[in-house]
Amino acid sequence: MSTLSDAELLRNIAAGDEAALRQLYERHAGWLLLRLNRRCGSQDLVAGALQDTFVAVWQSAGRFRGEGEVAAWLWGISIRRLISALRGHPAADPLGDDVVGAAVPVVNSAEDELLRGVEYGDVGRALRTLPPELRATLQATVIDGLTTKEAAVLLGIPQGTVKSRLRVAKSRLRDQLMPGRTS
């Protein structure tokens, strides 16, 4: 196995090196697959998201700025690919209606239900009232499951800023979703 760092592999991928892509895939596909499987009950959607992740890496490796961990960058791509797949999958109808002619029934995980609830329920409405920077921080840490360090890399802001924005976002959501609560 190569002793090149992930960042070096990305530079080689940007130059068209397929072997570098294969090495990056071998290093990261296992843990990405594990994390994606924890968020979705459909093996087909997870496999597609993983494949789409590495297609995106092949196409955009040159866009990696070299700030932070490559693993956090990969996770950001993969979770966005999975969420896009969940939104576009006809059997994962957010209203819960049966889809006529759906070839394969999808068993929704608790995380699938959460994603739909976040998008379409009270939480989704409350999230849409947050300023974009608070919403992005909350999505990266709570919904996507990134650590504050990973979210900082993904969002391009200091880790302390992630923590501050997360605290403010949670407080605003609590105020909206539980208006009569006492602090």
In this structure, the answer to whether residues 30 and 58 fall within a common structural domain is yes
* 66 and 146 inside one domain: no
Rounded to whole angstroms, the Cα distance separating 58 from 62 reads 9
How much is the pTM? 0.53
pLDDT over threshold 60, residue 65? yes
Quote the pLDDT of residue 99. 36
Ranges of H-type helices in the chain: 6-14, 18-37, 43-60, 70-88, 110-120, 122-129, 132-138, 148-155, 159-177
CB-based contacts of 102: which residues, under 8 Å, 6+ apart?
90, 91
Residues contacting residue 173 through CB under 8 Å, at least 6 positions apart: 123, 126, 127, 130, 138
Q: What is the pLDDT of residue 102?
A: 38
Domain count across the chain: 2
The answer to whether residues 19 and 94 belong to one domain is yes
Average pLDDT over residues 3-32: 93
Contact (CB, 8 A) for 49 and 78? yes
Domain membership flag for residue 132:
yes
pLDDT greater than 60 at residue 51: yes
Of the pLDDT bands very low, low, confident and very high (cuts 50, 70, 90), residue 89 is low
Q: Is the pLDDT score of 68 beyond 80?
A: no
Domain check: are 62 and 134 in the same one? no
Same domain, 103 and 148: no
The string of pLDDT tens digits covering residues 113-140 is 555 555 556 777 787 888 888 888 887 7
Residue 115 lies in a domain: no
pLDDT value for 160: 96
What is the rounded distance in angstroms from the CA atom of residue 10 to the CA atom of residue 2?
13
- Token pair, residue 174, equals 């609590």
Helix (H) or strand (E) run with residue 96 in it: none
CA 173/CA 29 separation, integer angstroms: 34
Q: What would the mean pLDDT of 34-45 be, rounded to a whole number? A: 83
Between these two residues, 164 and 109, which has the higher pLDDT value? 164
Residue (of 61, 37, 64, 63) closest to 50 by Cα position:
37
Mean of all residue pLDDT scores within the chain: 79
pLDDT recorded at residue 23: 96
Q: What is the CATH number of the domain that holds 166?
A: 1.10.10.10
Spatial CB neighbours of 140, under 8 Å, sequence gap ≥ 6: 76, 146, 150, 151, 154, 155, 162
Q: Can you give the residue range of the structural domain that contains 31?
A: 1-107
The answer, yes or no, to whether residue 35 has pLDDT greater than 90, is no
**105, pLDDT greater than 60:** no
Residue 98: pLDDT band (50, 70, 90) is: very low
CA distance 4 to 19: 12
76: its two tokens: 């950001």
- Asked, for residue 116, whether it belongs to a domain, the answer is no
pLDDT given at position 165? 95
Q: What is the pLDDT of residue 92?
A: 41
Task: Examine residue 113 and state whether it is found in any structural domain, yes or no.
Answer: no
